Amino acid sequence: MINTLKIFDTLQQTLDPSAAKAIAEILGTIYEDLQNTVTKTDFSELREIVKELGDAQKATEIRIGTLAERVEELAEAQKRTEARVEELAEAQKRTEARVEELAEAQKRTEARVEELAEVQKGTERELRLLVGEHQETRKQLGGLSTTVGYTLENEAYKALPALLKKDHKVIVKGKLKRQYVTDSKGNYLEINIYGSASKNGKTLTIVGESKSQLSQKAIDEFLRKKINRLKDVHKNIFPILVTHMISDPDVGEYANDKGIALYYSYDF
């Protein structure tokens, strides 16, 4: 008689208990049904089938174990992915916060630029006012300079005849005055002090200029722009310069070396 209990104990070592029990019961039934008909060869084949079923069960369990390991690996990968997603989410939050900071900084910069633009407009208005005032000041100074020059010349017209007679034996004929005269090319020149005179029977032409402060440069300009341009028209020119003061101590001697009669306002 077949020992189904022993078969069950053997099968449950490799199979699920319920499966082992079912197989043991089936084998018991088969054994009873085939006890008088199953040959030794048939029983060997049946035993081989049971063994194959056991091997298949083992292979299944191996595959299940491998699948479990794979599932565990996937779970670990999922955990790492979730952690990385959290890191990215934090980085995104920090990025958004930084963008907001930059946006606020941009707003402050734009506001500052607008303030500077307004200040610039105010500065430009002030500069225009200053330019206008400067132009007016220059205009007034120019007028004042002209007035001072005219005053010096007016005094010279009255005082020079006597001074020239005393210092240089030059006799002024008529009045000294301001006048436009033409040079050798027919161009008009404005002469501050102009008149006729004589010395020892020789006719002279007085050509003079007034300077509030006289320098060597001013002397050179007077000679170049006035005397040199008139010497071909007036043969005997008597050059005169009148001033309130000189720019350095050598100016008076420089004028004398150039043959110019120099008079100061205090001489008048």
Average pLDDT over the chain reads 84
Q: Which residues contact 262 (CB under 8 A, 6 or more apart)?
A: 214, 240, 241, 242, 243, 252, 255, 256
Angle (CA) 208-214-215 rounded to 5° is 120
Q: Report the b/e string of 21-33 with b at 16+ CB within 10 A.
A: bebbeebbeebee
The domain ranges of the chain are: 149-267
CATH of domain 149-267: 3.40.1350.10
Q: How confident is the model at residue 137 (pLDDT cuts 50, 70, 90)?
A: very low
Give the phi and the psi of residue 232 in degrees, each rounded to 5: -80, -15
**Can you read off the two tokens belonging to residue 159?**
């005082």
Q: How confident is the model at residue 212 (pLDDT cuts 50, 70, 90)?
A: very high
- Does the pTM exceed 0.85? no
Q: What is the pLDDT of residues 51-98, one digit of tens each?
A: 887 787 788 778 877 877 887 888 888 888 888 888 888 888 888 888
CA–CA separation, 192 and 202 (whole Å) = 23
Q: How confident is the model at residue 11 (pLDDT cuts 50, 70, 90)?
A: confident
N-terminal to C-terminal alpha carbon distance within the chain: 170
What is the Cα 195 distance to its own chain's centre? 64
Q: Is the pLDDT of residue 127 over 60?
A: yes
Mean pLDDT of 43-50: 73
Percent of the chain with pLDDT over 70: 88
